[in-house]
Amino acid sequence: MSEIYVVKIGGTSGVDVQLICEELVTFINQGQQIIIVHGGSNDANQLGDLLNTPAQFITSPSGFTSRYTDKKTLEIFAMAVNGKVNVQIVSSLQKLGVNAVGLSGMDGRLIEADRKKSIQSIVNGKRKIIRDDYSGKITKINPEMLMWLLSNGMVPVIAPLAISEEGDPLNVDADRVAAELAVAVHAKYLFLFTAVKGLMKKFPDENTWIPSLKTNEVEMGISYAEGRMKKKVLGAKEALDGGVGMVFIGDGRITNPIQNALDGNVTRIGG
């Protein structure tokens, strides 16, 4: 039976979409089924600047950073991730002969989420409540459409939007999307590709890079992580708790990033 790999392509500058897509062809030809999840933070920031709506970020009391997404920002975010990044990845894969299908989590209610109607945030050291944010916490995955696509030889490419109970699009963290999807489709591996070698005890000192963490060490991993890396390690925990075999967090800037990860050159979590 073929195994499912969920591959998250980070939206950070430096991550090489083309190199990742090229290597995926090899694994698809070997019979693996692939689901791609992508971010788009860099493109969303650039488009926001061009449209005079520069990105703003908020930090939760527990130290997680996320995009402040009011209605206008959500519209820009959707244009960047659905209309630009997703189209580019689908095109890159189609050029390589892979029959990709671009979707967001809104489509077919693939990813349902609760809107965070009030968000605790730390601004200049002070707590503030934000109420006009359209980001969400994932509550349910409906994977039937993905399973049909996979069994018909297609590769779903998923933009990080979810749908609220009310039918509104919501910004959801792409690492968490990848983790939840990996659980829902019983993926063997989850790869979170970004522009660093993996988790480090003291970021950005690569000498403190962590080659592997056991499942019972993940909480400790979260405490090491800085900024957006926190969500990746949290995603890894969710994936492992949900039955995913192994999670790899690391370098998406290089040739053959999947093999590089399997070879032990990124942070491997699980087991």
Residue 47 interacting with a second copy (CB under 8 A): yes
Which residues contact residue 214 at a Cβ distance below 8 angstroms, ignoring those fewer than 6 apart?
A: 270, 271
Query: Shortest Cβ distance from residue 19 to a second copy (Å)?
Result: 17
Residue 114 interacting with a second copy (CB under 8 A): no
Give the neighbor-by-neighbor strand order of the sheet with 57-59: 65-67, 57-59, 119-123, 126-130
Residue 169 or 198: the one with the smaller Cβ distance to a second copy is 169
Residue 100 interacting with a second copy (CB under 8 A): yes
Distance between CA atoms of residues 154 and 147, nearest Å: 10
Residue 147 interacting with a second copy (CB under 8 A): no
Q: Which of 80, 141, 150, 174 binds a second copy (CB under 8 A)?
A: 80
Of the candidates 215, 58, 238, the residue with the CA atom closest to the CA atom of residue 132 = 58
Query: Shortest Cβ distance from residue 17 to a second copy (Å)?
Result: 14
Distance between CA atoms of residues 105 and 169, nearest Å: 9
Cβ pair 4, 32 in contact under 8 A: yes
Length of the chain (residues): 271
Residue 86 interacting with a second copy (CB under 8 A): yes
Binding mask 149-168 for a second copy (x = CB under 8 A): x--x-x------x-x--xxx
By DSSP bridging, strand 155-159 and strand 189-194 are: unpaired
Q: Which of 91, 118, 139, 255 binds a second copy (CB under 8 A)?
A: 91
Residue 107 interacting with a second copy (CB under 8 A): yes
Amino acid at 10: G
Cβ pair 7, 258 in contact under 8 A: yes
Residue 35 interacting with a second copy (CB under 8 A): no
Binding site for a second copy (CB under 8 A): 47, 50-51, 75, 78-84, 86-87, 90-96, 99-104, 106-109, 144-145, 148-149, 152, 154, 161, 163, 166-169
